Structure 1
Amino acid sequence: MFEEEYQNQGDRGPTSSESLTTRSRFSPIRSSVPTESTFPKRLKRMWTLFPLQDISWIVAFSFTIGSAAFVIYGFFLLLPFIDPETNFPTETPYATPASSVFGALLFLVGGYAGFLEGMNLSRREVAGTNVPDIETTEITEIRMKLDENSSQEMEPQSSTEPTRGERSGHSFPPLLGDPVFVYLPTKQQLTALHARSLLFHSAWVQFLGTIIFAFATFTSLPGILPSSNSSHLLITLLNLLPASTGGVLFIISALLQLFNAQDKLWTPKPRKADWQVGFSNLIGSLGFTLAGALPVFRSETASYVGILAEFWGSCAFLIGSVVQLYIVMGYYA
């Protein structure tokens, strides 16, 4: 398929097998329906294909690597409690803070990408429905652009062959660089297009949570805040409070994910992959919230339970992110 593409491009297309492999690795074709593949093949795609134009992939991949970094961070925090003799000289000054900062930065990337994903998903959903309180020109513009892109993508290939960047209506947002991809909503779009979308509200709440959570991560670095007993109020306000607040926002975002995946508000859908992602994120968010709130009690037991919560919360987030990445890669061959 890729070879035919390059042959049609004439001299402009790359000719080496290495170039073909690079293009297929970083710009693979996204199908409108899940591809037929075995579990091992899809797992392989998760770590060999990198569709950088797919905002859904960026969200899943960023949170997967970021969650893994926080798992390492939680493990380093647990070592002094489990076996102090395993401590190494560079653990506290370098390894522990580096893993937390790396995880926080990736959470920021994933949070912003999730905000873009939720905004573009809700925009596409409304484009196919009747919304009385939005101007007709706005809906018409969206429909015309979507129809134009669909026709451009479908013309060169048969109806049974997936096209590069093909989207499935409500399943995926447009690819980065697509003329209809929105990077910043207008006031009219916020009030008319996105106000009714649970996905959009989940996305912006999560993004806000990543910002506050990242602030707490940076203030926890050695030397940023004084560690004396008299500075406990300062540590609480600038570190523990933002950490627990970020966790609470993560909880709200995860609950909105769950509600969006359910047909009815109080009817769980545990067999649904999207629901499983939201549930794992909910458990992880609870862990992050406890990790920020428990140290306020200033006891060794509370600190130990808080560190444990940091660790299992990171593990839960990692599970949800891996499932999300697995879902996304199911649409690539």
Structure 2
Amino acid sequence: MNEHDPSATRSSFDESLGRIGASSLPEWPNFPFEEQLKNQQDDQQSTISATLTPKSRFYPTRSSVQRGSGFFVRLKRMWTLFPIQDISWIVAFSFTIGSTAFVVNGFFLLLALIDPETNFLTETPYATPASSVLGTLIFLIGGYAGFLEGLNFGEKEMAVTDGERSVQVQRLRVSTSTPQADDDSKEVQTSSLEPLIGDSAFIYLPTMHQLRTTYTHSLSFHAGWVQFLGTIVFSLATLTSLPGVLTSSPSLIPALNLLPATLGGLLFIIASVLQMLYAQEAWWMPQPAKGDWQVGFWNAIGSLGFTMAGALPVLGTETATYVGTLADFWGSWAFLIGSVIQLYIVMGYYA
């Protein structure tokens, strides 16, 4: 402007905008950028939450801490969400379905002794062995998943212990009522969750160095591999109990059927006791108020029933056989209760 009209004075910035048509320029937002970004994120989150596809039921979002949901809400999640990447969910769900199959099997066995007239044509040759094989196969899946859970949770267990020590050192300098202390506590809780299947941090097979250093003192790892070994041994008893396997060699029943059943039950008891000890703050202090402790307790009761079912028939009396069959039935129910509790606990991390 000054070049065309040297006599014109320099105008202000507002007057210049007026000459070039400031109305054509977009108006600057009247709220901070952080608020605009937050609104965009909220809109995206609302869109994701509103779109519930079948895939989201199998890959739901997991929280780092337990959600404060109602009892019936969590019960609904147990049968509507299926987080197949969560190894803890696979353990709980497998043992729940497997225990249900063993409950059905125990019912068939017990009913045949209490009221033989109720036997239907296909009960002994098909229904009873089929339910036993189904329960055993699912228990094998759950046992292997428990082994993987022990591997991954065992490493996190060591990391959390070290993290808690560092947090305690920091809390000597920072009051526990400050936000910083709360953040430290959340970090410890987050690290206590095992990684999901498919994550780069998920461990499928430990190295010898990890076995010597990380897992030697991990109760969760020892509980996992002992339980997996128990399912393998117990499966031998299931195979030899099938019709026709040992029919021509009854003398082998104690060694090939009753012994694996008893030994498998004993290994289950050891694994359950380790689960209870892991849930306790001290080995001499039972904590029945904890859900994890209840899981170990009911699994121990179920393991005792399976052990009695394998050991008592060795006596060869009708009473021992009846008590052993009855123990197999209530032992299956105890395992089912513990598995359902475990599934309930796992689903507390999902919405």
The TM tier, using the shorter chain, reads 0.7 to 0.9
Aligned-pair identity (%): 65
- Counterpart of 1:181 in 2: which secondary structure? coil
- Counterpart of 2:283 in 1: which secondary structure? coil
1:313 matched to 2:345? The reply is no
1:71 matched to 2:109? The reply is no
In the other structure, the counterpart of 2:208 is 187
Q: Residues of 1 paired with 2:158 and 2:143: CA distance? A: 23
- TM-score, normalised to structure 1, is 0.82
1:172-251 paired onto structure 2 within 5 Å: 172-226=193-247, 231-251=249-269
Report deviation, 1:257.
0.7
- TM-score, normalised to structure 2, is 0.78
Q: Residues of 1 paired with 2:150 and 2:76: CA distance? A: 27
Report deviation, 1:2.
12
Indicate how the Cα distance of structure 1 residues 193 and 215 shifts in structure 2: closer, same or farther if over 3 A, else same.
same
Q: Residues of 2 paired with 1:78 and 1:2: CA distance? A: 58
Q: Residues of 2 paired with 1:96 and 1:212: CA distance? A: 20
1:286 matched to 2:343? The reply is no
How many equivalent pairs are there? 287
Q: Residues of 1 paired with 2:319 and 2:61: CA distance? A: 52
Asked if the contact 2:159/2:191 (under 8 Å) is kept, the reply is no
Unaligned runs of 5+ in 1: 9-15, 132-158, 160-166
Q: Residues of 2 paired with 1:6 and 1:110: CA distance? A: 36
Report deviation, 1:127.
3.2
Q: Which has the larger radius of gyration?
A: 2
In the other structure, the counterpart of 1:168 is 190
Pick from 260, 266, 281: which aligns with 1:263?
A: 281
Q: Residues of 1 paired with 2:97 and 2:84: CA distance? A: 15
1:30 matched to 2:52? The reply is no
Give CA-to-partner distance per residue, 1:254-291, whole Å, 9 cap, x none: 11111111111111101111111100001000000000
In the other structure, the counterpart of 1:276 is 294
Indicate how the Cα distance of structure 1 residues 23 and 3 shifts in structure 2: closer, same or farther if over 3 A, else same.
farther
Which structure has more relative contact order (CA 8 Å, sep 6+)? It is 1
After TM superposition, where is structure 1 displaced by more than 2 Å over at least 4 residues in a row? Answer: 1-8, 125-131
Amino acid in the other structure paired with 1:55: I
- Counterpart of 2:244 in 1: which secondary structure? coil
CA RMSD of aligned residues (A): 2.3
Give CA-to-partner distance per residue, 1:239-266, whole Å, 9 cap, x none: 1000000000000001111111111111
Unaligned runs of 5+ in 2: 1-40, 164-182, 184-188
1:80 matched to 2:112? The reply is yes
Amino acid in the other structure paired with 1:276: Q
